[in-house]
Amino acid sequence: MYFNDDGETLNATDFNQYHVQYSQPQGQIPSTMTLSITNKQKTRLINANDNLDGVSIYFASRSGWEETTSTYTVVATLDDGSTVTLSDTTYVPMTDRLVYSFGKAANEKSVSLYDLEKIVFTKKA
């Protein structure tokens, strides 16, 4: 779950809350992984913290995502059904994380959690 309020007001109803669910196909080395926003409680775009800035998958080797020679494409699907191709991931062996960071690709479009349905990571061939 991710919770965002403006951090300044005492208005307890002015916030956005996003519930995120992880899924991947069963198998030794999965070719895809999906992060779905399964439930949203939203009032308005609060601030830049409602934007997707990055995703880190900790303990990536436990799920078969540690291949240092592979990268994964990242595609966001918005609530209206449109898709946005984001930067590819990198694997960080020192911390055993698979990382997507916003802005690595030229002209990458910003995605707001407010409008996000899911993010799909797909292993590149």
pLDDT tens column, 95-112: 988 899 988 877 888 899
The C-alpha atoms of residue 64 and residue 78 are separated, in whole angstroms, by 27
Tell me which residue of 112, 115, 37, 117 sits closest to 77, measured CA to CA. Answer: 117
Q: Nearest CA to 122 among 86, 97, 81, 95? A: 86
**What would the pLDDT profile of 59-85 be if each residue is shown by its tens digit?**
888 777 766 556 889 999 999 999 999
Using pLDDT thresholds of 50, 70 and 90, give the confidence band for residue 19: very high
89 token code pair: 């991931």
pLDDT tens, residue by residue, 33-49: 899 999 888 888 878 88
Query: What global pTM score does this model have?
Result: 0.85
The reported pLDDT for the residue numbered 73 is 92
The amino acid sitting at 14 is D
CATH topology of domain 2-123: Immunoglobulin-like (2.60.40)
pLDDT of residue 109: 86
